[in-house]
């Protein structure tokens, strides 16, 4: 299958699912996932849904508690996405999770989607195949108009059967939370689980206290971040960008020596992790141009640099 080979080379392929057309990339490749964000032109890194073809592949990348397993067994394959924790050695790009410790997984029922995932032999990250802020595509021509020039291929298999995105349920909380309604209703999930679901997104505003176990445990490094730094201090680690970097003795990684923002996005979360592991108290980050994917990179860095509540602060909701 040509589309599968194209995906394995790290290029983007749009494909039909039963809900909407997806903009697919190899979910294990940081650079392929970065190409999705570049094509969609999103000012922020929203986490993406990872598509697999069977439950054992799903369990290799996400931790399924009893609730998640119950929902998966009842509704997969089909228009349901489950948010669970990433497994310890999860091979999926951290960028696909937008730096979260959780992952959204779905097994589509559309035969073309299933064949493609199987032929690619790896999980596929796929948001809806439209530019940010436009309607979700239900036909190949919608994809061509919106994203055509960014795509290596569009698998045209006619109009999709459902036309609305999958229901998203987070199993990180108990009871689970309906994050996005879709054609599998919250009631159907609640009746299977014999308890009502929580509803609505969890706010990720830094002002909102987040109970332990809630979803937006955005990956924040243990080290403090200092942004827009031209001269790092000797004791800091340096996250550099571009060819013109200051002399630095301490740990240093470069997001992109050539100043390529797509490459920088691909490296962002993995490099933050690696510098954090070196045990420094502070990571200095060089200025990143505020254009193209630079906007999303700067948004993410600003969140990671924002003051956060001290770890271990008791939460009013108790330990969840």
Q: Binding residues for ligand TXA, per CB under 6 A?
A: 17, 19-20, 22, 46-49, 81, 83, 97, 100, 102-104, 106, 126-128, 165-166, 168, 170, 179-180, 215
Query: In the complex, what is the shortest distance from the CB of residue 206 to Mg ion, in angstroms, rounded to a whole number?
Result: 25
In terms of phi and psi (left: phi > 0; alpha: psi -120 to 50; beta: otherwise), the region of 102 is: beta
Nearest to Mg ion of 128, 256 (CB atom): 128
Among Mg ion, ligand TXA, none, the one that 125 touches (CB under a kind-dependent 5 to 8 A) is none
The reply to whether 128 sits near Mg ion by the rule CB under 5 A is yes
Among Mg ion, ligand TXA, none, the one that 100 touches (CB under a kind-dependent 5 to 8 A) is ligand TXA
Query: In the complex, what is the shortest distance from the CB of residue 17 to ligand TXA, in angstroms, rounded to a whole number?
Result: 5
The reply to whether 146 sits near Mg ion by the rule CB under 5 A is no
Nearest to Mg ion of 128, 254 (CB atom): 128
Joined together, the tokens standing for residue 146 give: 């919106």
Query: In the complex, what is the shortest distance from the CB of residue 165 to ligand TXA, in angstroms, rounded to a whole number?
Result: 4
Query: In the complex, what is the shortest distance from the CB of residue 46 to Mg ion, in angstroms, rounded to a whole number?
Result: 8
| Cβ partners under 8 Å of residue 318, min gap 6 | 211
Query: In the complex, what is the shortest distance from the CB of residue 179 to ligand TXA, in angstroms, rounded to a whole number?
Result: 5
Which residues contribute to the site for Mg ion (CB under 5 A)? 128
């Amino acid at each position: 299958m040509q589309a599968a080979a194209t995906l394995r080379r790290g290029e983007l392929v749009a494909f039909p699912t039963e809900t909407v057309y997806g903009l697919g990339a190899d979910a294990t490749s940081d650079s392929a996932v970065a190409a999705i964000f570049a094509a969609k032109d999103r000012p922020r890194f929203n986490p993406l849904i990872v598509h697999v073809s069977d439950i054992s592949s799903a369990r290799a990348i996400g931790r399924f508690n009893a609730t998640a397993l119950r929902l998966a067994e009842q509704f997969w394959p089909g228009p349901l996405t489950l948010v669970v924790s990433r497994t310890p050695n999860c091979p999926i790009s951290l960028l696909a999770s937008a730096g979260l410790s959780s992952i959204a997984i779905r097994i589509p029922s559309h035969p073309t989607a299933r064949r493609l995932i199987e032929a690619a032999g790896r999980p596929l990250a796929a948001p809806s195949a439209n530019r940010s802020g436009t309607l979700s595509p239900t036909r190949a021509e919608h994809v061509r108009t919106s994203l055509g020039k960014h795509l290596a291929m569009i698998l045209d298999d006619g109009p999709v059967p459902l036309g609305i995105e999958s229901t998203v349920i987070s199993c990180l909380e108990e009871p689970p939370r309906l994050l996005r309604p879709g054609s599998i209703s919250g009631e159907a999930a609640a009746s299977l689980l014999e308890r009502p679901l929580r509803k609505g997104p969890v706010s990720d505003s830094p002002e909102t206290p987040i109970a332990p176990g809630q979803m937006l445990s955005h990956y924040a490094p243990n080290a403090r971040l200092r942004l827009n730094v031209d001269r790092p201090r000797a004791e800091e680690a340096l996250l550099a960008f571009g060819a013109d970097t200051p002399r630095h003795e301490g740990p240093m990684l470069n997001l992109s020596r050539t100043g390529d923002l797509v490459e920088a996005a691909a490296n962002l979360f993995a490099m933050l992790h690696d510098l954090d592991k070196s045990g420094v108290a502070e990571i200095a980050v060089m200025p990143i141009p505020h254009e193209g994917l630079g906007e999303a990179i700067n948004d993410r860095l600003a969140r990671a640099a924002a003051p956060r509540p001290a770890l271990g602060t008791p939460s009013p909701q108790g330990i969840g």
